[in-house]
Structure 1
């Protein structure tokens, strides 16, 4: 029997196609990716995104190509602080390597062979002096020569091209009012351009599946705060640190999401764009934008989320009718239309106490700090209501709450109405956190 998996996937991609149409997405592609065998598939996927109405900016790197050019000329290469030092005599060779790579990318995006994914694509590619640069200068006694940093982005110029349906191709070069050209980090170009355009997404290609933990497991999601903490602690090093810093900087400056995805895995770009959980590592800004007051239409999602925990005895059972009457007490974490976390706050005004209840997070998002973000939102709401102490009853997650400032208390310390309804058979432990 013929499989219809493609049909199911195609139909379920429709919401994402609609969501991304007319939105700006910035891709940062390293020179290593351009030399990889999977790059032709990335070209095809870029063409598909363009045909679906996604406004695309592609910032590309050229480090291996520059290195090959310099090695061929017998020129010595020097690096410091993760940047190539570009002496004046090497600048023509750097520009030659970048110019050749730009022409190659334009040729690849111009393909239109019959029986290929590019047939009838007719993609228009534009490039130019849309990035103004300044020299890095002298750092720690080292003169970086014609290595520079992004100074300004011509947002209006890029926007006009995007409105015309062009793909904007940005090399790792920037120009100054003095007529000088500077060798730039492609990560810096991608991050700064994404921030200047207030892009919907910044997609950063890497050779691994995404950012990895020390044990080799994939880091699925980080907030900008968590990313900064990892960088400060030295938990991410080398080129991965530069990529994560670029993603983090873009999110801090207003880009909704940055994704670090593989250029080795075929289809990683489409998987990120058109499936709910995407691929690689997501770096997001303030997660509060995903956490909000619950609405009646969220009840189905909440029930689906808490039912497994009710069956395990972790949560007390709640009927749909109960949720309907108490929905205004709930906050939810929503991701692409799916409820991935929830919690309820019950207020006891006489004791100036609040109960954190029905706290649940989808297992796929627990390592991403979603629980911490929901707790922070509940604490914010509790403080706004004048609650001085937040308490929780738990049978299986006491260590999680203790690590977040909750202290063991007695059943007798519960507010009167809660004490009267306490289920002694569950033997729930009471933890309290002063606010």
Structure 2
């Protein structure tokens, strides 16, 4: 079929799908190039998937339509081809104006994300199976771009596929038990060789982008030993990462590259799980995001009973957003249907998020999809599975056993004059009003919701462990108490503060006076402290004070 015949067939096909008027654009492609539209009146976003068998994805946006058309016929390099775009039958100036507006909004969104993440640390765990994919160089260019925006990066390399290749060449066989490779002494030389091959490939791509990647053995490990009667030989467990060295390297604008070899105190080498290295990096450093960049799709959703509240992508194939509760539900109900790789990724995500100063987000993405990494970082859409923490998951009602911890938290604030002093008896008498932020039996924050009746309640005793301030614990406690008050039918919240009024304004509290409070609270007001009064109305159908409330 010649070009003209193909044009007629394709025009007929697209006319049936898209009855709106068609516009035809002609392009000349060279291998790996990105075509430019001949008409300046359109905005087209192209994705070149392969230099030899190119498929062009056309995304066209107008004021009313957003169409995605796939030109599925392989496009020969250095030949002229025709691209078809759905066009609304209207003034051609309108699509350009709206396209420009969309482009500007996209640019603004990207700048917002750049400001948000500049100076933050991302950990990228990259599977070595991606290195043979045609788009791997583009993935590495995207990583270079992330670094150029001021994001601090740490790369952890996966090595499984390369180890398999080297062992096959050497005709060595190693057993895998419970997803863990048993590494005999004879295999260790090949494991090290595979690790170096992967690291050198990564660093070479970084160097091509004028970025300094640096490898080093900053992982301390120990032997896995014998488990359930199986001796795992030179397979090891991650103990810690020398975080001080890694941080200093990032301060000097390096990208540290960690690999699957760890050493013990005497210099013995062990073969480690790279996912566990990435997890330990997140536990030992302050990390904003962890990415699992794989040679497979994100967490599959097809055929599974979806946890309530979880989200899937429009095609229903993969999970889009999951909190830790959804992860627990998925693993409990469908753990046997998840691959070992997916189980490990989800388990690591839980470990690094489920702590007061933990990772904010974990992204599981398919590195074979062009631009997927940048899409996850710089847009609100994303194309992989995003896992995040439930900020209220660690908040619970306090019990009598928590009184000592509450007193300890309050003590520092009392000494600074920020809070009034409370005795153990005071807290015991009102223990049902107290809520705490606790992780693994350690209490990091507290707050109280005192109900006064007639739809009124007071927030007080907000305190956070000094070492965990700026981690969002206090913010989460106040939001939780506001939500609790609303659930209980409270119409007006108030609080008294001497120094933190500006912080409470962030939650919607406004200035008030003592006369705005219920009579019972006015009578107990401490005139010597002269605390400021703030109000938050949760319902507008009630008066601001207690008058007229039955």
2:211 equivalent in structure 1: 123
- CA RMSD of superposed structures (Å): 3.0
CA distance in 1, matches of 2:325, 2:160: 29
CA distance in 2, matches of 1:180, 1:385: 63
Does 2:206 match 1:109? Answer: yes
SS state at 1:269 partner: helix
- Partners of 1:28 and 1:58 within 8 A in 2: yes
Does 2:257 match 1:169? Answer: yes
Does 2:294 match 1:206? Answer: yes
Q: In structure 1, which of residues 258, 276, 280 is the aligned counterpart of residue 384 of structure 2?
A: 280
Q: In structure 2, which of residues 152, 156, 171 is the aligned counterpart of residue 59 of structure 1?
A: 156
Does 2:271 match 1:183? Answer: yes
CA distance in 1, matches of 2:109, 2:167: 48
Give 5+ residue unaligned stretches, structure 1.
Answer: 112-117, 292-346, 354-374, 388-420, 422-435
C-alpha displacement at 1:246, in angstroms? 1.5
1:366 equivalent in structure 2: none
1:298 equivalent in structure 2: none
CA distance in 2, matches of 1:79, 1:105: 27
CA distance in 1, matches of 2:480, 2:295: 35
Q: In structure 2, which of residues 116, 135, 140 is the aligned counterpart of residue 38 of structure 1?
A: 135
Question: Structure 1 residues 35 and 274, CA, compared in 2 at 3 Å: closer, same or farther?
Answer: same
CA distance in 1, matches of 2:377, 2:353: 18
Bigger helix fraction:
1
Does 2:330 match 1:230? Answer: yes
How big is each residue's C-alpha offset from its partner over 1:354-391, in whole Å with a ceiling of 9 and x where there is no partner?
Answer: xxxxxxxxxxxxxxxxxxxxx9866633688999xxxx
1:261 equivalent in structure 2: 365
2:28 equivalent in structure 1: none
CA distance in 2, matches of 1:383, 1:231: 30
How big is each residue's C-alpha offset from its partner over 1:207-249, in whole Å with a ceiling of 9 and x where there is no partner?
Answer: 3442121335321112223213322334333211111111221
Does 2:358 match 1:243? Answer: no
- Partners of 1:231 and 1:245 within 8 A in 2: no
- Partners of 2:234 and 2:271 within 8 A in 1: yes
Q: In structure 2, which of residues 332, 351, 354 is the aligned counterpart of residue 252 of structure 1?
A: 354
Q: Which moved more, 1:35-44 or 1:229-238?
A: 229-238
Q: Which moved more, 1:128-137 or 1:58-67?
A: 128-137
Question: Structure 1 residues 350 and 58, CA, compared in 2 at 3 Å: closer, same or farther?
Answer: same
Q: TM-score, normalised by structure 1?
A: 0.64
2:166 equivalent in structure 1: 69
SS state at 1:13 partner: helix
- Partners of 2:127 and 2:295 within 8 A in 1: no
2:374 equivalent in structure 1: 270
2:319 equivalent in structure 1: 219
- Partners of 1:223 and 1:286 within 8 A in 2: yes
- Partners of 1:228 and 1:245 within 8 A in 2: no
Give 5+ residue unaligned stretches, structure 2.
Answer: 1-40, 44-99, 304-315, 396-450, 458-478, 492-540, 542-550
C-alpha displacement at 1:197, in angstroms? 0.9
Question: Structure 1 residues 105 and 250, CA, compared in 2 at 3 Å: closer, same or farther?
Answer: same
Aligned residue-pair number: 305
CA distance in 2, matches of 1:100, 1:209: 25
Question: Structure 1 residues 225 and 178, CA, compared in 2 at 3 Å: closer, same or farther?
Answer: farther
SS state at 2:362 partner: strand
Does 2:179 match 1:82? Answer: yes
